[in-house]
Structure 1
């Protein structure tokens, strides 16, 4: 069985879109982040969905980058490395929240609350070493990676350039999150999620026919003589 590069590229597009959809989905259903909620079914469901989102997003952005590797240049490489590292950190934290924190909830609730407070902004009453630093680091990777990757997509003119701009705007909107209540700040993820869906569709569609400079399939074909 031969697996073509075009088919793999379309798979990456589907995974990018799946990641964006899951990123949006988990925001309104995410339980409160404390030791009392981590043993519930909703917490486990959100955790597994987040891990799938992170893996799908990583594969998706690598596929997007490889489709335009020459056109995106160093900016695209920097963007995919930074944004990809954000997805790796997200997976690691989701893994810990889903499989490590629930068994500890009864024995060490202060530790669990402190660990979850890294991203909720609630703070911690226990020593967590360097872990609290990873929250701001992940946020920085998210913003810089999203901006650079989106700009590279816009400049490359391979995929839909408007999706690249939406990714830039979505990443920058995260800078407003500290000014909002935590529950409301979650919805800053929606523009980035929509951008990933859009980019995934654009990546999938460009493999099915000639594309314009916006990454959109042509509906017409040139006349032959």
Structure 2
């Protein structure tokens, strides 16, 4: 199998689409975030899938950025760095949620509940250390990065513009989560998930379409008079 830039770019498109589907899938029937849920197998599986989603999303947005690095300019670079950092931190938080918090559920249930409260946008009653900073950095970089990266993709006008606009609007909409407690916060992940699917498919299809071969000009098809002598 020959590895080419086109192959890698198409793979990045598939990765983004799968990440979007996982992002939507892990929201369905999500258990209540408390110390009891943390000890279940479902919790470990869901957060392992979140880790996979973050890794695939990072791969996908890297392919998107590299495909249109010239067209997106400085705005695209800023958006990519922030959005990529958001997914990196998200991967780390999902790892802690999947494999560290369950081991602390019996010995330090108050700490676990405080971490989950902060992750859900509430306030901790105790000190959770650097997890507080990690969760805040994840939220800020995800929101700012998604907004800026979506705008940069929209302006570049290479991938599906509707998906780029949805990415920008979907990540920005997460600001409204604390203001709309009556709405399930899991619903705010759907636009971003759909946007990743759309952008990933657009990247894959764009690389799948072969470039048109140049047609010979009428002049070049005529015999050279000099050669006819």
- Match of 1:179, SS state, is coil
> Where do 5+ consecutive residues of structure 1 fail to align?
212-217
CA drift at 1:166: 1.0
| Residue aligning to 2:178 | 178
Contact 1:79/1:147 (CA < 8 Å) preserved in 2? yes
Aligned length: 217
The equivalences for 1:33-182 within 5 A come to 33-181=33-181
- Match of 1:43, SS state, is helix
Contact 1:9/1:63 (CA < 8 Å) preserved in 2? yes
- Structure-1 separation of matches of 2:138 and 2:112: 19
CA displacement, residues 145-191 of structure 1 (integer Å, 9 cap, x when unaligned): 11111111111121111211111111121111111238711211100
CA drift at 1:88: 0.7
Runs of 4+ displaced beyond 6 Å: 221-225
Contact 2:69/2:76 (CA < 8 Å) preserved in 1? yes
> Where do 5+ consecutive residues of structure 2 fail to align?
219-229
- Structure-2 separation of matches of 1:180 and 1:47: 25
Find the structure with the greater CA-based Rg: 2
- Structure-2 separation of matches of 1:46 and 1:103: 16
CA drift at 1:127: 1.3
Q: Which moved more, 1:194-203 or 1:18-27?
A: 18-27
- Structure-2 separation of matches of 1:72 and 1:207: 18
* Distance 1:31-1:182 versus aligned 2 partners, 3 A rule: farther
| Residue aligning to 1:215 | none
Contact 2:89/2:137 (CA < 8 Å) preserved in 1? no
- Structure-1 separation of matches of 2:135 and 2:52: 20
CA drift at 1:29: 2.9
TM-score normalized by the length of structure 2: 0.88
| Residue aligning to 1:4 | 4
Contact 1:150/1:167 (CA < 8 Å) preserved in 2? yes
- Match of 2:37, SS state, is coil
